[in-house]
Amino acid sequence: MKKLMVVLLAAAVLAGLGLLPFRAVDAARLLPVKTVIVTRSGECYTVDIGAGVKAAGRSLREALDRLREAVTGEAFLPTAEQVVITEPAAGAVEAVTEEPAFRPAAGIYLTPERDPDAVKIGEYLASHPSNVTILSVRAELAAGRRPSIPRLLAEDGGYRVEDPAQ
């Protein structure tokens, strides 16, 4: 019984100091994200989650931190079903696959579009998903292979997924 009291007291002290590895979040403040657009231009990353919500930074992590500061509420990135990287994607693919904010099962795509619309892309990809995920690309990179990532192309006012594996 004494050990239980000591553990509970220690947990209460750590919670009071804000040192626990988790934090409470008001679910009403969460902004679920469906599609994330990542653009890398030189040494600057831009993250776009649609509805005019964008942020930039010198690294993907910095851009995501600024994105969280820019939204009213809290951008909840683990709900993202797909991450679209604009081309040229030098370094951006590796940064996305290493980013813990994205869930490993999210689809990953490349696009030559200069200013893609995250909402329209999200609607299209919801009905045309790919089997290529952040986790599968991470595994390819870890094995030293060049990953085969599907390309999302604008076509006739809509989109088309070009799967390089086919």
Name residue, tokens 């999200």. 122
- Structural tokens at position 156: 């006739």
pLDDT tens for each residue of the chain, 166 residues long: 777 777 667 666 656 555 556 555 555 556 778 999 999 988 899 999 988 889 999 999 999 999 888 877 777 788 889 999 999 888 899 999 999 999 999 999 999 988 888 889 999 998 888 889 999 999 999 999 999 999 999 888 888 998 776 5
| Whole-structure pTM value | 0.80
CA distances from 41 to 25, 31, 60, 105, 153 (A): 33, 27, 12, 26, 20
Sequence spans of domains, the chain: 28-162
pLDDT value at residue 56: 94
pLDDT value at residue 128: 86
pLDDT value at residue 158: 85
- Identify the CA nearest to 49 among candidates 26, 67, 30: 67
